[in-house]
Structure 1
Amino acid sequence: MDHTLVIVESPTKAKTIRKFLPSNYEVLASMGHVRDLPKGAAEIPASVKKEKWSRIGVNTTEDFEPLYIVPKEKKKVVKDLKNALKDATQLLLATDEDREGESISWHLMQILKPKIPTRRMVFHEITKKAINKALDETREIDMELVQAQETRRILDRLFGYELSPLLWKKVAPRLSAGRVQSVSVRLLVKKERERRAFKKASYWGLKASLLKDNISFESKLFSLDDQKISNGSDFDEKTGNLKKGNKSLILTEDRAKSLLKNLSKEKWKVLKVEKKPTIRKPVPPFTTSTLQQEANRKLRLSARETMRCAQGLYEKGFITYMRTDSVHLSEQAIRAARECVNSKYGKEY
């Protein structure tokens, strides 16, 4: 009887997709990456330990060839996968459909060296329909994605190993700097220099809280003697003066207080009311960045906490894949949402 081994990244994902697959399919987890660049001197093979480049794990003299090793904590995982492969007649690599996932599948191929038919299986959501479709549309490993991830990893190492010690010394211990963090540090330095060069300016404004026929509203002083009152956007942050060509009036503290004293005694009139129609469109579905922004704004979650929650939801089949810039929703998700709204609130909604 045919026996298919499916390898995914996490045990939760393995548990979720197992119920959608036939009984002769075995699903195991690689627990993330099974191979990586050495993390310390203890992991560097003896054969290259004397090489100058061995410390960073990238051979800078031979076209930046990476040195890959199986970390100690992954040796049991690799052994279990090799044992499971012995009884299989087909291997499906079902890691996530991104650069990291493609890279993990390629590393599994390099380590397991399967002698049976092996295909790449990818899906955006963990539903029965999506899994069945993925089984019918398997493909080869995309080496362009693998090389993209490999390039990113090498850049991390080349930049990080040189910059991280500086962060430990100047900022805090155990910080990691890679291809992204090195640019971030540069941006922070640039912004700090701008902050130090910043010229501050002061300006005042007036707001009134008004009430008429139990309707409360706020009024803001916009102009004085037909001259616009200046606000924050009117100033040049580098000089502290009004921007070139700006003719607005800078309201001083004394004048603002004098106006307040005089206006408090006056009668207020609404001279004109304008009504304008507004159109509100639904916000687009989350991308990785908008998900992180909203989670931070509304729930005070860090990007790492947000992605951990999203990964768990994805692995349990509740959301589509979240590491994306695409706002595309599957037809199945749209249909399910419409049916839910219809049954809860009615067709008119």
Structure 2
Amino acid sequence: MAKKPQTTGTSLVIVESPAKARTIGRFLGRGFTVEASIGHIRDLPEGAKEVPAEWKKQPWAYLGVNVDADFEPIYIVPKEKAAQVRKLRSLLKSASDLYLATDEDREGEAISWHLCEVLQPKVPIHRLVFHEITAEAIQEALRQPRQIDENLVRAQETRRIVDRLFGYDVSPLLWRKIRPRLSAGRVQSVAVRLIVERERQRMAFRSAAYWDLAAELTTGSGGRFEAQLISVASRRIPSSRDFDATTGELKDPSLLLLDQPQAEQLAARLLRAVPRVVEIEDKPYTTRPYPPFTTSTLQQEANRKFGFTARHTMQLAQSLYENGHITYMRTDSTNLAAAAVQAARDLVAAQYGNEYLSPQPRVYQTKVKNAQEAHEAIRPAGHPFDLPEALRGQLSYDQFRLYDLIWKRTIASQMSDARAHRITITVEADDAVFQVTGKTIEFAGYLRAYVEGADDPEANLAEREIVLPPVQPGESLQWERLEPKGHTTQPPNRYSEASLTRALEEMG
């Protein structure tokens, strides 16, 4: 149980949701009453009818924002929140002090500020901030309470006002010009523009056709591999990126553009030649693990792996957070606390062995603009982290999959690099050059735990390898198959939810 500071009565702790209240209540003993505000208790009015009488006749009343006085917001307590406000006031009457334990982001800070504005407490006020709902985190927050961060409050207020001005002024224009019930917003309008611009690119796109040759070759020892034609008479065969998207023409006229009859004639000619290995290039390379999840990267990966929408991912993450299984899920930081890094490293050693542990703790720098580095990345809560299988019976199917994803990504972030080789075989036949590139994994490293976009890391490792048969420079090969292959350039893909999220993030 959490140790209560020395006071004479009961301390009232206010959080946003009943689920969060129940979880925190388990860690607080006698002397604490935990109650939920059930989200925001105060907001801008929904329309002129909810605006206080003194402002109703103002031309800006429908906005709920006084555009004539530095965009001052007009706040009201919605009818559906009145009963909860009365309950909180009643509890506060018998409290010796007030602890505001709302979320640590802008919205949470604003909820705490609005609670103070509405409840007008006469007792000491403490702001509790924690990244995870665990006994240890609650204890630490009680030892180091702070004041409400006015900068965060103003940041949330500004975003809310901009949302209102955008939505209430631009949306009616959409109703008149396009169709009813459309809405505009600070983020969604930018997203729509990106989607429209991509669609215009697709409409302006002009396709192009080109041909090359696909070969299947066999070695004297019975090995076989496929190779692609890359040049004829020192002229490179084009790929899709060599064509202008708006004209369908080659960007570089020196490339050799083949049509079907030319490709067929070339294949017939080359079948009379003996293909030989002229070069083998073996390049070792390493890849590093991905950083722990931010909100955006979690949404993107859950969409790629499971097909989850961003909304569904956040609903699952909210539930996992409120029940004490993961850290706070709205963050743009890839930073991990020192204790979390150690917990991850301990698990790597225990689950995979010391050879899979990175030599030094890994530290990740966030690349997102305006990131709040004081926050942590999304990771399993507590120390040590609960193993996914230990929670399977407590979680729904989708909750388990998301927790397992977060667990693996966090663990992998402290694992060793993967080492592999990229082997390129170059084959000549008469004046034509073919190439094939294979990959072999020397040491899986972090890939043992986590492969981006794959559900089963072990199975995906096999798929990532392209093993080529052993050959020697100068070795003669045989044609198993040599056939013309036609291609048509494709317009840029429409955005998926994951790719649109990534594009918005990259644009800041």
Name 1:162's counterpart in structure 2: 169
Name 2:213's counterpart in structure 1: 206
Name 1:11's counterpart in structure 2: 18
Tell me by how many angstroms 1:209 deviates. 4.6
1:36-74 per-residue CA deviation (whole Å, 9 max, x = no partner) reads 111234423333222211111111111111111111221
Count how many residue pairs are aligned between Structure 1 and Structure 2. Answer: 348
Structure 1 residues 64 and 224: CA distance shift in structure 2, 3 A: same
Paired residue type of 1:48: W
Rounded Cα–Cα distance in structure 2 between residues aligned with 1:46 and 1:208: 81
Name 1:143's counterpart in structure 2: 150
What SS does structure 1 have at the residue aligned with 2:104? coil
1:143-170 per-residue CA deviation (whole Å, 9 max, x = no partner) reads 1111111111111111111222455567
Name 1:181's counterpart in structure 2: 188
Name 1:241's counterpart in structure 2: 249
* Contact 1:103 1:146 (8 Å CA) reproduced: yes
Structure 1 residues 209 and 94: CA distance shift in structure 2, 3 A: farther
Name 2:239's counterpart in structure 1: 231
Rounded Cα–Cα distance in structure 2 between residues aligned with 1:170 and 1:300: 34
Alignment of 1:123-138 (within 5 A): 123-138=130-145
> Greater shift after overlay, 231-240 or 306-315?
231-240
1:64 aligns with 2:85: no
Rounded Cα–Cα distance in structure 1 between residues aligned with 2:139 and 2:113: 23
* Contact 1:10 1:31 (8 Å CA) reproduced: yes
Rounded Cα–Cα distance in structure 2 between residues aligned with 1:6 and 1:246: 72
Rounded Cα–Cα distance in structure 1 between residues aligned with 2:182 and 2:308: 20
1:31 aligns with 2:1: no
Match 1:103 to one of 106, 110, 115: 110
Mark the runs of 5 or more structure 1 residues left unpaired by the alignment.
none
Name 1:295's counterpart in structure 2: 302
Paired residue type of 2:187: V
* Contact 1:234 1:246 (8 Å CA) reproduced: no
* Contact 2:47 2:61 (8 Å CA) reproduced: no
Name 2:315's counterpart in structure 1: 308
Alignment of 1:331-346 (within 5 A): 331-346=338-353
Name 1:277's counterpart in structure 2: 284
What SS does structure 2 have at the residue aligned with 1:55? helix
Query: Percent identity between the aligned chains?
Result: 56
Match 1:88 to one of 76, 84, 95: 95
Rounded Cα–Cα distance in structure 2 between residues aligned with 1:22 and 1:265: 87
Structure 1 residues 41 and 25: CA distance shift in structure 2, 3 A: same
Tell me by how many angstroms 1:117 deviates. 0.5
Structure 1 residues 120 and 209: CA distance shift in structure 2, 3 A: farther
Paired residue type of 1:109: C
Paired residue type of 2:35: L
Rounded Cα–Cα distance in structure 2 between residues aligned with 1:29 and 1:125: 17
Rounded Cα–Cα distance in structure 2 between residues aligned with 1:254 and 1:70: 76
Rounded Cα–Cα distance in structure 2 between residues aligned with 1:125 and 1:54: 41
Rounded Cα–Cα distance in structure 1 between residues aligned with 2:33 and 2:115: 16
TM-score between the two structures when normalised by the length of structure 2: 0.63
Mark the runs of 5 or more structure 2 residues left unpaired by the alignment.
1-7, 357-508
Structure 1 residues 218 and 106: CA distance shift in structure 2, 3 A: farther
Structure 1 residues 298 and 175: CA distance shift in structure 2, 3 A: farther
Structure 1 residues 214 and 145: CA distance shift in structure 2, 3 A: farther
Q: CA RMSD in A?
A: 2.4
1:319-344 per-residue CA deviation (whole Å, 9 max, x = no partner) reads 12221221112233333333333333
